[in-house]
Each structure stands twice: as structure tokens, then as C-alpha cells.
Amino acid sequence: MMPVPAKTELQALMFGNRLTKRLKHLNKWARRVGVEAFRLYDRDIPEIPLVLDYYGSAVSGSLYKRPYQVEDEEERVWLSAMSQTITDVLTIPPERVFLKMRERQRGKAQYGKLAGQRVTLDTREGGLVFRVNLSNYLDTGLFLDARKARAFVKAESAGKRVLNLFCYTGAFSVYAASGGACAVDSVDLSKTYLDWAMLNFSLNGFEAPDLTSCHAMDVGCFLEESRRRRLVWDFIVLDPPSFSNSKKTRGTFDIRRDHRALIHQCLGLLAPGGSLFFSANARGFRLKPAEFHGLSIQDISDILVDEDFQGKKTPSRYLVKPQHSGKDILDRS
Ligand SMILES: C[S@@+](CC[C@H](N)C(=O)[O-])C[C@H]1O[C@@H](n2cnc3c(N)ncnc32)[C@H](O)[C@@H]1O
């Protein structure tokens, strides 16, 4: 391996100082609010384009593609210096530091499985527990930036029939159940993620089949079938990927192109007085209320940013309610 350049050594030092400072601050907060996993570092220093999530006994991180060309060997040396800093500051053994390369992903690659030994752990937040996989996917199974959004869903769910679309590993669904939902339907294309969602339900003691149902289906087909069967829900969670293409769907899904149709389809399935929680992760995406007539659209993005994501780019989130009576909605569907 080539020797570590002086510039890299200096960056490692700056990185170490930043990690130490963040760890001290966030550890205190995390203990106080009962959170075990948090975002420790998010490209705070632009020349160090890493994102690190701290899981107490392990770290899951990504190296973002640089806007300029770097030789493989140079990048390897650089990454090894930063990994060393992570293990030193966090006192975590190197085999518990999982760093992945993240490029702008379109579709399938983002949710594909990575090779290697399977390393999982259970992490707590909001009095609940979730299984995360640190080794085999780009994402661990729990999006930490949605923590407060999950708490919001919990607070909205009491006594309601809740539908969670694009449910992934079911974190929103588990929160809905813990908030006292009377029924929780979870929909995702992936059987693997639905099995994971069921595991998360059982880790939290929600195993009753009359409370939770998982549907391995394309969301578009599920919504269409539900409309035909005149099914309704009181609260719908719509947190889709920015883009998706799968062999199991008819075409591609693109949030910028498809969000209006999707939102209207969901509104057609709301019971009188029902509401929709909509979240979008696409860079710079904002709902334009002027494009939606007869709806109350509340931008709740800012109130759902937790301590570890303050000042960072976070998803835009909305609470959407029909302004006219529930009867009108049922008549239209
Ligand atoms: C980024 S995750 C959504 C985040 C999730 N709502 C959460 O709570 O963390 C994207 C999920 O959408 C699923 N998905 C993508 N396209 C789909 C489709 N057309 N129908 C159903 N699920 C789909 C994927 O399998 C994946 O689990």
C-alpha cells in the first residue's frame, strides 16, 4: 500500500475531532430520549464525504462518490485512514465498522443484497426494538432520519385502521400498532422485507393476525384492488422510494412524475375524517399545494427533524386531508 499522504493524515485528525465532539453531544441526547442508534456524521467536513450511523457496538457508513476522479489505491489508503479513526474514536473493532460505496442509485441496485457474512443487531428507539442488518444491504432496515416521523405516525394511529404503503421492514407499521391502531396493513413488493417486517412485529409482541396483515404486492395493484373492493382506511402512510423499477411491476415508479396520481388514489381509500401522511426523499422535492384542489396540505417536514439530523437535508413530509366531507370521497371512489 502507498504511504499515507500528509493531507490524508490531517483530514483523519479533523475527522477524529469532529467525531469526538458529535459523539459526546449525541450520546447525552440519545440516552436521555432512549435512542440507541443515531446519525453520527453526515459529510460535516466536505472533503470527508462519509455518512456514519452509530449503533452502539457497530457503525454502518457510506462513502459518497466524489465529484472528481480518485485512483483506486489512493481511495483505499484514504478509506483505511478514516476507518482507523472511526475505530479509535468509537472504540469499536474494525470488523464492526461497515462502510459501503454509495453512488446515486436508480431502482433495483439500491435494495439489492450485498455479499458477505450476515451481521445483525437489535436496536431500540421510542420504547420499541428493530432488527437491523449491517452487512448485506446498502441500508440497514431502519432509516434513522424517519425516527420522528415514526413517532408522528404512532401519535396519529390510536383506534385507527392504518395502511402502510412501501412498508419496507415495517417500522412505521410497528409504531402504528404500538400507538393503538386497531388494524395495520403493510404493503411491499419484496417478500424478504415483509418477512423482516413480521420479525419486527414479533420482536415487539405484535403477533395477532387480526391486528397486522402483510401484502406482498405492487402498491399500484394493491390500491386498484382495494378501490374495487371498496376497502377504506382511517390513516394511510405513503413513504415511497424516489425511483423504483422491478420485474414485478408493470412500469417504473418515479416520485416526481407519479406522486399526484398516487396521492389521489390513496385519498380515494380514506374513510370519512381520514388523513394521509406523505413523505418524499427526492432531493429538493416539494409538494405544490396549488396542484391539489379541495385538500388541506400541511407541511410538517421541519417538526419531524430529530437532534442528530438538525441542519441536514431531510425528507419533505406532509399531512394531507380532504377538505370536503368524507361522504364526497366515498361517492367519488
Ligand atoms: C425506501 S423504502 C421505503 C421506506 C419505508 N417506507 C420505511 O418506512 O422505511 C422502499 C420500499 O419500497 C418497496 N417498493 C418499491 N417499489 C414498489 C412497488 N411498486 N410496490 C410495492 N413496494 C415497492 C421496496 O421493496 C422497498 O421496501
pLDDT, tens only, 264-303 = 999 999 999 999 999 999 999 999 988 999 999 999 999 9
Report the percent of the chain where pLDDT is more than 90.
Answer: 82
Is any ligand 1 atom within 6 A of the Cβ of residue 234?
Answer: no
* DSSP for 236-274, written as a single string: EEE---SEE--TTSSS-EEHHHHHHHHHHHHHTTEEEEE
Is any ligand 1 atom within 6 A of the Cβ of residue 137?
Answer: no
The pLDDT assigned to 258 comes to 94
pLDDT (average), residues 138-155: 97
Is any ligand 1 atom within 6 A of the Cβ of residue 189?
Answer: yes
How many angstroms is it from 298 CA to the middle of ligand 1? 23
How many angstroms is it from 165 CA to the middle of ligand 1? 7
The pLDDT assigned to 34 comes to 98
* More reliable by pLDDT, 249 or 86: 86
Residue 46 has pLDDT above 70, yes or no: yes
How many angstroms is it from 168 CA to the middle of ligand 1? 5
The pLDDT assigned to 115 comes to 58
Is any ligand 1 atom within 6 A of the Cβ of residue 236?
Answer: no
How many angstroms is it from 166 CA to the middle of ligand 1? 4
Close Cβ partners of 151 (under 8 Å, ≥ 6 residues apart): 126, 175
* More reliable by pLDDT, 248 or 181: 181
Please tell me the least confidently modeled range out of 42-56, 98-112, 129-143, 215-229.
98-112
The pLDDT assigned to 101 comes to 79
How many angstroms is it from 100 CA to the middle of ligand 1? 21
How many angstroms is it from 179 CA to the middle of ligand 1? 22
* Mutation probe of ligand 1 site: the residue of 105, 189, 223 with most atoms within 8 A of C-beta: 189
Round the average pLDDT of the chain to a whole number and report it: 92
Report the percent of the chain where pLDDT is more than 70.
Answer: 93
The pLDDT assigned to 329 comes to 43
The pLDDT assigned to 47 comes to 94
* More reliable by pLDDT, 64 or 128: 128
Secondary structure of 22-44 as H, E, C letters? HHHHHHHHHHHHCCCCEEEEECC
Burial class (CB in 10 A: 0-12, 13-18, 19+), 118: exposed
Is any ligand 1 atom within 6 A of the Cβ of residue 218?
Answer: yes
Q: How many C-alpha atoms does 255 have within 13 Å on its Cβ side?
A: 21
List pLDDT tens digits, range 210-235: 888 999 999 999 999 999 999 999 99
Look up residue 152 and give its three cell numbers. 408522528
pLDDT bucket at 1, cuts 50 / 70 / 90 = confident
Is any ligand 1 atom within 6 A of the Cβ of residue 130?
Answer: no
Is any ligand 1 atom within 6 A of the Cβ of residue 188?
Answer: yes
* More reliable by pLDDT, 278 or 66: 278
Residue 317 has pLDDT above 90, yes or no: yes
* Mutation probe of ligand 1 site: the residue of 125, 188, 250 with most atoms within 8 A of C-beta: 188
Is beta strand 161-165 parallel, antiparallel or unpaired with respect to 183-188? parallel
pLDDT bucket at 324, cuts 50 / 70 / 90 = low
What residue's CA is closest to ligand 1, atom 12?
166
How many angstroms is it from 195 CA to the middle of ligand 1? 14
What residue's CA is closest to ligand 1, atom 16?
244
The pLDDT assigned to 113 comes to 60
Is any ligand 1 atom within 6 A of the Cβ of residue 241?
Answer: yes
Find the radius of gyration of the CA atoms of the chain: 21
Residue 103 has pLDDT above 70, yes or no: no
pLDDT bucket at 246, cuts 50 / 70 / 90 = confident
How many angstroms is it from 244 CA to the middle of ligand 1? 8
Domains, in order of start, for the chain:
6-103 (3.30.750.80), 144-332 (3.40.50.150)
* Mutation probe of ligand 1 site: the residue of 139, 148, 168, 218 with most atoms within 8 A of C-beta: 168
Q: Which atom of ligand 1 is nearest to the CA of 221?
A: 20
How many angstroms is it from 22 CA to the middle of ligand 1? 31
What sign results for the dihedral spanned by CA atoms 213, 219, 223, 226?
negative
Residue 80 has pLDDT above 50, yes or no: yes
The pLDDT assigned to 112 comes to 55
How many angstroms is it from 242 CA to the middle of ligand 1? 9
